[in-house]
Amino acid sequence: MQRRHLMQAGAALAVTPWFPVHAETYPERPIRMLQGFAPGGNADNIARVIGMEIGKTLGQPIVVESQSGAGGTLAAGSVARAKPDGYTLLLATGGHAVAGALYNTLPYRTVQDFDAVSTITFFPFLVVTTAESKYKSFSDVLAAARAAPGSLAYGTAGIGSTHHLAGELLAKMAGVQMLHVPYRGDSASLTALLSGDVPFIIAPPTAVLSNIKGGKLRALAATGPQRWPGLPDVPPVAEQGVAGYDVRSWAGVLAPAGLPKPVLDRLNAEINKALLLPAVKARLEEMGGEARGSTPEEMKTMVANETQRWSQVVADAKIPKQ
């Protein structure tokens, strides 16, 4: 009996927050926001845009740190292991859900080991070819894929990237077979396209928009459900023969699981207020995204659904798990 009481007491201590919750004074020191990709990239820029604004209203600076490697999982692992006190956050991207689908073993659980705070931005990918390409529309691409199953190649930023899985889902929904050619990042796939090594690529707007506007590239389709405001004349895939196709990447803020609710609510409120500011919305639009916040519950459900969705795509495409 005594042993059972000791075990129960120990279990109670294990779930009791180790720190006092001072919601009325939070934050009392700078907040770290980790992101898992190279400095100066899309994730880094998004983190700095939102971090600068919420730092003003929170009264403490948001220090953005790059912890790149392993598709963003190094930074995610660091945040999952951090104390859930609101002083360590993760700028997560759509790749967070992809990693949960693609990796056999991760040092964290993609959904359960994090508290979702809020989404920040959503953006489509673009199906892009060169300006002189024979493909004038995405319907032309589908026709070529059907005429020669498994021969039509497309480039992406790498095996298991969101771009790659977007291509695999596209092939499945369109009932075609295409040849995926992985490169080391968007810049490498863009170089391959411009040199004629692949007839088209799937890439985020930030990687290709300047070349589209400069006349070197032609955007054939956007992967979102509607026309992307940055290129309103480019119809989505769903309007060009693949009804219901919808792939958008995203960025949002996660925290270690167990964040005190008053702290979670404060962070969520500040992020959503920042996303209403015209300057923040304009900056995110410049990076190819649409500013859109969420409740913590909405974001957590989205991450879980995206992880499940990409897990099915990985299984259907027989992509080797890493």
Rounded to 5 degrees, φ, ψ at 73 are -80, -20
- Dihedral of CA 27/29/35/41: which sign? positive
Task: Say what the pLDDT of residue 22 is.
Answer: 64
- β-pairing verdict for 290-291 and 114-124: antiparallel
Q: 303 phi and psi, to 5 degrees?
A: -60, -45
The whole-angstrom separation of Cα 243 and Cα 119 is 26
Q: What type of residue sits at position 168? A: E
Q: Which structure tokens are listed for 141?
A: 């691409």
Both tokens assigned to 186: 């968007």
Distance between CA atoms of 113 and 278, rounded to whole angstroms? 33
Q: What kind and span of H or E run contains 295?
A: none
Following DSSP, what letter does each residue of 251-286 receive, concatenated? EEEEEETT--HHHHHHHHHHHHHHTTSHHHHHHHHH
**Amino acid 104: pLDDT:** 87
So what's the pLDDT on residue 24? 74
Residues of the chain with pLDDT under 50: 1-19
Q: Is residue 114 within 8 Å of 255, Cβ to Cβ?
A: yes
Looking at this protein, which amino acid is placed at residue 193? L
Which residue's structure tokens are 């919750």?
Answer: 21
pLDDT at 8: 43
Q: Look at residues 144, 83, 124, 160 and name the one whose alpha carbon lies nearest to residue 247.
A: 124
Question: Tell me, what DSSP letter sits at residue 238?
Answer: G
| C-beta separation of 43 from 71 below 8 A | no
Question: What pLDDT was estimated at residue 58?
Answer: 97
Whether 206 contacts 212, CB under 8 Å? no
DSSP notation for 154-216: EEESSTTSHHHHHHHHHHHHHT---EEEE-SSHHHHHHHHHTTSSS-EEE-HHHHHHHHHTTS
> What digits encode the pLDDT tens for the residues 172-221?
999 999 999 999 889 999 999 999 999 999 999 989 999 999 999 999 99
- Give the C-alpha separation, 219 to 208, whole Å: 9
